[in-house]
Amino acid sequence: MPSMVTEPYLEFDSMTELPDSHAWAPIDHDPVGRDNMEEAVPVIDLEDPNVFSRMADACRSWGAFQVTNHGVPPDVLDGIERAGMDLFSLPLERKLRAARSPDGVTGYGVARIAPFFPKRMWSEGFTVIGSPADHSRQIWPHDYSFFCDIIDDYKKEMERLTSKLMGLILGSLGATKDDTNWESPSDCDAIQLNYYPICPDPDRAMGLAPHTDSTLFTILYQSNISGLQVLEESSATWIEVPPLCGALVIIVGDLLHILSNGAYASGLHRAVVNRTRHRLSVVYLHGPPSGVRVRPLPGLVDADRPPLYRPVTWSEYLGAKAKYFDKALSCVRICAPPMKGLMA
Ligand SMILES: C=C1C[C@]23C[C@@]1(O)CC[C@H]2[C@@]12CCC[C@@](C)(C(=O)O1)[C@H]2[C@@H]3C(=O)O
Ligand SMILES: O=C(O)CCC(=O)C(=O)O
Ligand SMILES: [Fe+2]
C-alpha cells in the first residue's frame, strides 16, 4: 500500500490560493446532463409500479439513481445536515481531538483513498460505525449527546430504508431476501459525513477523487448544493447528479456488482468543489453483516453464466480495497490472476 500522506491538515478557510499539494490537472466543471434527460441519472419513485424494471435499467447502465417517496422525514435530513455543519465549522484543533487513529476507521480525517492519489483532496470527513459517543465526547465534552441522538435518528431511518431498498433491488434481479443468507440491518454499516469547503480555485481542486464504494449500495444525501458526478461509461463523460429537493442518491457498490454476478455496474463517482458555496454530503454505506460471505445469487449462475466472483466478506473486501483500491474487484474475480498477499 502507498505511504500515508503525512502533511499537516489544512485550515481550508484560511486559504486564499490553492496550494500545490491540492492542485490537480484542470477538472471539467461543465458536465452534460442537466437538461438532457437521456443523459441524466434516473430518478425513481419508490411507489412506481414499474420500480423493478426502472431499478434494473438504472443499475445496469449507470450504477446509480435518485429515489423519491423514500419515507425519510425532512426533519431527519435537516437534523443531520445541521449536526454535520456544527462539526465541520469547529476549529481544526477541536476536530483533531477525534482524529481517526492510523489503524482505525472511525473519526475525523482525510478521505481513506487519499494515499492512492498524488494530490490531496479539498475535503474533510467524519466516519461513524456503531456509536459515535467516544468521538463526540472528545469534541463536545459538555454536550456530546445531541450529536449521538441525531446520528441515532438518522441510522434508524437508514436501516428501514436499506431493508426496503434491498428487497426492491433483489426483486429487480428476479430474487428475494430468501436468496441471500443475511437480514438487514447490518452491524457494520457506516455513516460518512463529507465536508467540501469553499475553494479559491475549484477548476484545479478535487473534492473526492473518482472511486467506487465497497458497499452493497450507498445512500447519499447532498442537500441542495451540486458536486456529485457519476461517470457515464459509454461516452466516458462525468455527469452531474443534480440535487433534487428531498431526494436521495443510491449508488451501486462493488458487493452488489458481485451479488448480481456482474449484471449491475458499481457506479464510479467523484465530488467536485465550488468557489462560493461549501457543501456537505451525508453518506450511508450499507453492506452485509459481519461474517456473511457475499457471492453471486444462485438464480444468476448457470452453465452459460458461471460465477464471476468468489464469496467474500465485507471486511475481507475492505482489506483488498485498502490495499489495491480500484483493482480490488479483480482480486476476488474467479480466473483472474491471483494477486500476491491476498487472503485465501
Ligand atoms: C465502510 C466503509 C466504506 C468506506 C471505508 C469504510 O470503512 C468507511 C468509510 C468509507 C469511505 C467513504 C468515502 C469513500 C470511500 C471509498 C472511502 O475512502 O471511505 C469509502 C470506503 C469504501 O466504500 O471503500
Ligand atoms: O460528497 C459526495 O457527493 C460523494 C461522497 C462519496 O462518494 C462517498 O462518501 O463515498
Ligand atoms: Fe463514494
Confidence bin at 184 (pLDDT 50/70/90): confident
> What residue owns the CA closest to ligand 2's atom 3?
228
- How is the beta sheet containing 217-221 ordered, strand by strand? 43-45, 64-68, 248-252, 217-221, 279-286, 190-196, 124-129, 107-109
Q: Is the pLDDT of residue 343 over 60?
A: no
Domain spanning 21-297 has what CATH number? 2.60.120.330
Residue 105 CA to ligand 1 centre (angstroms): 9
pLDDT at site 14: 80
The distance in angstroms from the start CA to the end CA of the chain is 19
> Is any ligand 2 atom within 6 A of the Cβ of residue 229?
no
CB within 8 Å of 143: residues ≥ 6 apart: none
**Domain range summary for the chain, segments of one domain joined by +:** 21-297
Q: What is the percentage of the chain residues whose pLDDT exceeds 70?
A: 92
* pTM assigned to the model: 0.94
For 220-228, what is the mean pLDDT?
Answer: 96
Q: Is the pLDDT of residue 344 over 60?
A: no
CB atoms within 10 A of CB 280: 21
> Is any ligand 1 atom within 6 A of the Cβ of residue 313?
no
ipTM above 0.85, yes or no: yes
Helix and strand counts by DSSP (H, E) for the chain: 8, 12
> Is any ligand 2 atom within 6 A of the Cβ of residue 228?
yes
